[in-house]
Chains A and B, each alone.
Chain A
Amino acid sequence: MKVSYKWLKQYVDIDISPKELADKLTMAGIAVEHVEYLGQGIKGVVVGEVLEVKPHPQADKLVVCQVDLGRETVQIVTGAENVKAKHRIPVAPVGAELPGGMKLRKARLRGLDSFGMMCSAEELGIDEALVDPESRNGILILDPDSPIGEDIKSLLNLDDAILEFELTPNRSDCLSVINIAREIGAILKKPVKLPEIVFQETDEPVENLAFVEVWDQDLCNRYVARVVKNVKLKPSPQWMQHYLRSAGIRPINNVVDISNFVMLEMGQPLHTFDYDTLAEHKIIVRRAAEGEKMFTLDGQERTFSRDVLLICDGEKPVAVAGVMGGLDTEVTDKTCNILIESARFHPVSVRRTSKLLGLRSESSLRFEKGIDVFNTLEAVHRAAQLMADLAEGEIARGVIDVVGAVPEPTVITLREKKVNEILGTSLTISQINGIMEDLRFPTEIGRDEIKVTVPTYRQDISREIDLIEEVARLNGYDQIPVTLPHGVTTEGKRTRYQKLEDLIKKCLVGAGFMEVINYSFISPKDFDKINLPEDSALRNVIAIKNPLSDEQSVMRTTLVPGLLETASRNTNRRNPNFAFFEWGKIFLPREDKLPQEPMMLGGVISGKMERGWNQEAQVLDFFYLKGVLEVIFHRLGIKNWSLKAESFPGFLHPGRAGNIFLGDIYVGFIGEIHPSVQEKYHLENRTYIFQVYLHQIMEAAEEVFKYQPIPKYPAVERDMALLVKESIPAENITQTIWENGENILTGVTLFDVYKGTQIPEGYKSLAYALTFQSKEKTLTDDEVTAVFQKINESLSEKFGVELR
């Protein structure tokens, strides 16, 4: 909503600047987004009359005009095509100034002197869309009665400022200039002068001229109409054109302008019909028949369904209620008699209809928010008055008023105690009452409470809290003290999961991982991209009904596509070395309205970590990733986890991946990305990925652990190099070693894995460092050797392993 500052001054004596006013309104909850000062930089531009237009002898694109400026006549050479003799136009003579610091000088155009410039709307800072089409892309043609020599700023009200409001949805009452003026009155504590509505009526009673029937009163609880005869169509006066333009509405003619003006002024949308085109001079308000058709004002044929409310005459639909008029009954140049409609349509009905038809207008906007049912009469009177004053209309006697159920006025008890309890203030009852009086809300003051009658234009107020808000905002939010809650002390603490989350993230950050955040929605095509089989359960997704694009149309069931996308983007940007993790939900459909939302941890690594001048680059490979998982499990006190090489989703390398189990519960996977997926994502290097279900892992975590005493007796280290068949997993060897440790084996470290020369084909060499230690005594060589031997024997027995 945009409103002229001058217009507001018609109702309230505003003695502060537009900027100050804007700030005060904003701090009272009627936010002014922007103040636009019109005519800035314009000086000395006056109205001129074109006396003659002659072609330029040397240039066929230019014309030479003699222009009467009142005190003098000047020659102006211009390239504008729309100027004709007798036109009155804005002229910037030599010495005048235009926005942008331009100062006019005498110019010479193809050998002829030009003593100024004729101005377009744009050059005066007026939106071209808001002027007459003949003035667009050319010189602004003024009304023929504009006084020659008058300053353009006062003629076109360019000495005004425009306040652009950003109203909150509850304050749609301020889609009315009068209601904004009421706010200003309450803020500045000044009276509000409402327009005085007086006009002459003819003797002809309106009941004899028109007939109104409302068939669907649930969608239209009031329909008021007046008939005005013999209107003279012409441009409306400058002030009205200016007010409309300030609000972003293009002036058309006096009749149309009046209905727009009253809508802006009073917040009541009006519609004017050409009375003579209404069959039987009848108005019927009813729901559409299924498939009923009509041409709307914009020339389009519309087809309606049953829930659209129509305004019809004796034969046919003539308007879509509250949304748009029909072509056949529109006011035209030939219109002589009019019927003015002032109605209240159901907000939801208008909203649905305008959405359905894709039509949003200034009227539908107001109807949607719900207008004041008691304002319809006032508005139709105001329109009649202006029709008489500005269009010489003859107003038929009386109004037609079809009214259904109207709400009772709301009376609310406002308690002093509650006001201060909610706001933390210590206002007295008379201060509170004072604020209600500033708002012009009728009150009845008691000892500790006030009965407030809420005016019908304030539909946002229905209970005590709404009035408390009025007190708060008009008293000023800055008047609310600053305190801290003083109730029972509460414990600020993290849950167990939240603590574990911190711990796990610390491990990852310590291991050089960077956290990424990917969108929760992915493309269904991503599943193909990661080689997911057609029958994979992960393809069972929650789909978004109204996605922004196909790329973001289903909720992810795995973190993999997002992680690979991130890997791909970084590779593409020449960052091929990375270690990323993501902490986020996946969404799995189930037998419930809401899906399951397990929290997942995933990671992707590739390349090498940055190398220093004296260190080898850490290769980011499968075992680095596994090492990180080991650290996490270790920190969480989880011992019963294992990795099983079994069947995998298609995006993993079949020989370089494993499923992660806690006991026999599957909790995730780790592995190298399948080469074909690596290629599809344009990843430069081998890439490794993991994903785990956090819930199961956190459930299994043992946060309580006890320290182990530092051994008193020395440890003995023995190395063991083994020749093992390649097919035997190292873990089986390690396990057997442990099993035969006889309580004195305290450490098993695999420190070398070797294949190649000196090792027979099909074999590998595993080198272990074994640590033996006793809690009770210093171990003798013989004791250690005995156990070492035993380990050896069982290894060769079980796996045919040879000691090297």
Chain B
Amino acid sequence: MLEKLNEIKLKAQEELKNVKTVNDLVSLRVKYLGKKGELTSVLRGMGKLSPEERPRVGQAANEVRELIESILEERNNQLKEEALHQSLKKETIDITLPGQNILLGHKHPITTVIDQIKEIFLGMGYTIAEGPEIELDYYNFEALNLPPDHPARDMQDSFYISDEVLLRTHTSPVQVRVMEKTVPHYPVKIICPGKVYRRDDDATHSPMFHQVEGLVIDKNLSMSDLKGTLRTFARQMFGEDRQIRLRPSYFPFTEPSAEVDISCMMCGGEGCRVCSHTGWLEILGAGMVHPRVLEMSGYNPEEVNGFAFGMGVERITMLKYGIDDLRLLFENDLRFLAQF
């Protein structure tokens, strides 16, 4: 019997080695270990053995069974592994095919830039103020120290609705409205973004464009605070290594007034085509609020000071994205808009 067992063992080992599918494996299991299997039939004949032989043959039979089972198990795992491997191979996709179109829209670049400006000033404790686009001459000019016949009115050719009503030429009237509402309280700390209008239409001027104006009124405010505020803004907007430069200028509603340049981010100040080889780019106008403007709004210039600044959003947008044609911003061509 031991011989028979050994025979079964060798045969099973051989057959199991060559088995190719899980199904074949199952039938082999039946063949050897099933109720009518070869090993079982050997064991069935155990009754005929002497009591001395029985334990020996029993042990040998168990060893053969265990061996076959372990080989079965091993082969089963191998075959499953292979089958999985095969099926994974079949499921291979071309990962270089494009992904699905997730269609997100786009804000207009002007809006995006205004949002960025808002974010920076919100972070510095400013609130956002708004005002009418069709304004009274009083708010647009007079209250800003531009009485009728003031020569500086020539600087801004306006669209008139009537003698006292016009399309605002800058966002500065919002300052005046906010001051009138807030006086005598302070601090005032606002920015006012919005559309403005001037009677100009050529390659570098659009009759409608956007400005962001800023105004701060407080005790002990100085031009150095203005400088610091603008540097903070310039660095957040155009990069941490930007320098700013103030040049004396004139606006009727601020004094002293300045044009503010930032070091060119294209060339780092070395001089290039974008900055006309000066290393500087003009980005905004600013100054200390003229005492006359404070007085007209009801503030006492001996008690508080103010500073104000204003920037053209189109210019900043063009600089930021390297846009060289202003008209693109108002043509609303989707091939342009889709880039932002």
Contact = CB atoms under 8 A, between A and B. Distances in A.
Contact of A517 (B108, B224, B229, B231): B108
B215 to A, nearest CB: 12
B106 interface: yes
A516 B332 contact: yes
Contact of B337 (A465, A516, A548): A516
Contact of B224 (A481, A495, A545): A481
A169 B250 contact: yes
Contacts of B101: 609-612, 615
Interface residues on B, range: 35 or more
B91 interface: no
Nearest to B245: A478
B187 A487 contact: yes
Nearest to A494: B128
A570 B332 contact: yes
Given A465-B291, A480-B227, A493-B127, A594 B165 contact: yes
Contact of A473 (B151, B201, B248, B290): B248
Interface stretch (B50-58, B68-76, B117-125): B117-125
Given A480-B223, A490-B187, A493-B122, A518 B103 contact: no
B104 A27 contact: no
Interface residues of A, number: 95
Contact of B338 (A28, A485, A514, A583): A514
Contact of A505 (B98, B107, B187): B107
B162 interface: yes
B159 A566 contact: no
Contacts of B164: 593
A424 B225 contact: yes
B86 interface: no
Interface in A538-562: 542-548, 552, 555
A171 B189 CA distance: 31
A398 B54 CA distance: 158
Interface in A34-50: none
Interface string B160-190: 1110110100000000000000000001010
Contacts of B249: 29, 31, 168
A427 interface: no
A482 B227 contact: yes
A481 B244 CA distance: 12
Contact of B104 (A421, A483, A512, A614): A512
Contact of B121 (A171, A463, A492): A492
Majority SS at the chain A contact face: loop
Contacts of A566: 332
Contacts of B337: 514-516
A595 B134 contact: yes
A544 B104 CA distance: 38
B332 A518 contact: yes
Interface string A438-451: 00000000000000
B220 A597 contact: no
A594 B154 CA distance: 24
A495 B128 contact: yes
Interface in A505-545: 505, 508-521, 542-545
Contacts of A587: 133-134
B323 interface: no
Interface in B314-338: 329-335, 337-338
B170 to A, nearest CB: 15
A465 B290 contact: yes
Contact of A31 (B126, B132, B134, B247): B247
Interface in A564-621: 566, 569-570, 573, 575, 578-581, 583-585, 587, 593-595, 597, 609-615, 618
Interface in B120-160: 121-128, 132-136, 149, 151-152, 154-155, 159-160
B197 interface: yes
Contacts of A485: 216, 218, 221, 225, 228-229
A62 B257 CA distance: 61
Interface in A458-474: 463, 465-466, 468-469, 472-473
Given A421-B222, A517-B108, A545 B199 contact: no
A544 B160 contact: yes
Name the 9 nearest CB pairs between A and B, nearest first: A424-B224, A29-B248, A424-B222, A168-B250, A490-B125, A512-B103, A492-B122, A516-B332, A515-B108
23 contacts: A168-B250, A347-B151, A422-B222, A466-B255, A480-B227, A483-B225, A484-B232, A485-B225, A485-B228, A485-B229, A486-B220, A488-B218, A514-B334, A520-B197, A545-B161, A546-B199, A548-B207, A566-B332, A569-B333, A570-B334, A578-B334, A612-B100, A615-B101
Given A168-B249, A468-B256, A545-B161, 8 more contacts: A169-B154, A472-B223, A480-B224, A482-B231, A490-B125, A495-B128, A517-B330, A521-B207
